[in-house]
A = this chain, B = another copy of it.
Amino acid sequence: MASTNPQESVRDHSPLPKLLPTVRLVVTTSAGLNQIDLPECRRRGIAVANVANVYSADVADLAVGLLIDVLRKISASNSYVKQGNWPTRGDYPLGSKFSFVNFVYCWEESGLELLDWEISGMKLLKGLKPLVAVSLITPGRKSHMSRTLSMKICELAANCDALIICCGLTDQTHHLINKEVLSALGKKGVIVNIGRGPIIDEKEMVRCLMEGEIAGAGLDVFENEPDVAKDFFALDNVVLSPHCAVFTPESMKDLSELVVGNLVAFFSNKPLLSEYVDE
């Protein structure tokens, strides 16, 4: 069984494993596992293979790109120039210095963990002195961390200028970025989401963006895809990308090879190339 469509709620697991009583393998082409009924797979001994780190570099690159774009207003000034405003309306308003952004890596034994996202983009971030807060959470693990996590994210947000969300969607991370976290991030704070839309309380984020309670957002994922909330459309401090962080020809090629490799391994009774082990 190949799973390709990441549902945007962790609560709506695909019913497929239940409908296919003889299935023995699930190969997903998505980075997230929220669309797979992992407990059912575990119960029935169905093997699950994920994308390993095939998407990692692309996702990180997009995260960095979105962050620079929001801080330096690249997309907004591109529209400004292309609409012919420069000669008539003069210089474009100042952006913020990227290199001043406050950087915090955040993971810990109890559940924040450097996932697949060990990547070129993150290495690139590490190359800079101060920078960007990154929250990294392994999906489907350490379910006891729920409330403490939310509190820690608040602390993290209060101490950084930019928060990059690149964790998986689980019951624990659903609306992890809520009113309190956004408020802690503050008026100069920027949020980038390359994880899953429902990790952020989107209505609250829209309100914060419209009222200047946070400075800006770069979003690749949304609560309701592809029907993005129209409130975003008029906001110059928001850069939107249609859930395409992983879509480069190079990654698609690597993905095909991995999927085929997993199928070949499975039917040859060899270990899967990228088995997901639910701890």
Contacts and interface: CB of A to CB of B under 8 A. Distances in A.
Interface in A202-227: 225-227
A232 to B, nearest CB: 7
B251 A82 contact: no
Nearest to A79: B79
A149 interface: no
Interface string A40-72: 000000000000000001100110111011001
A124 interface: yes
Interface string A116-132: 00001101101111000
A81 interface: yes
Contacts of A82: 232-233, 240
A269 interface: no
Given A61-B98, A82-B232, A96-B249, A69 B75 contact: yes
A120 B226 CA distance: 36
Contact of A95 (B78, B95, B244): B244
Given A66-B74, A69-B69, A69-B74, A228 B97 contact: no
Nearest to A66: B74
A247 interface: yes
Contacts of A90: 226
Nearest to A130: B120
Contacts of A72: 61-62, 65, 248
Contacts of A244: 77, 91-92, 94-95
29 contacts: A58-B98, A64-B64, A65-B68, A65-B72, A65-B98, A66-B74, A74-B75, A75-B78, A75-B79, A78-B239, A78-B240, A81-B240, A81-B242, A86-B225, A86-B227, A86-B242, A91-B244, A91-B247, A94-B249, A95-B244, A95-B248, A97-B248, A97-B249, A97-B250, A98-B120, A99-B120, A120-B128, A123-B128, A124-B128
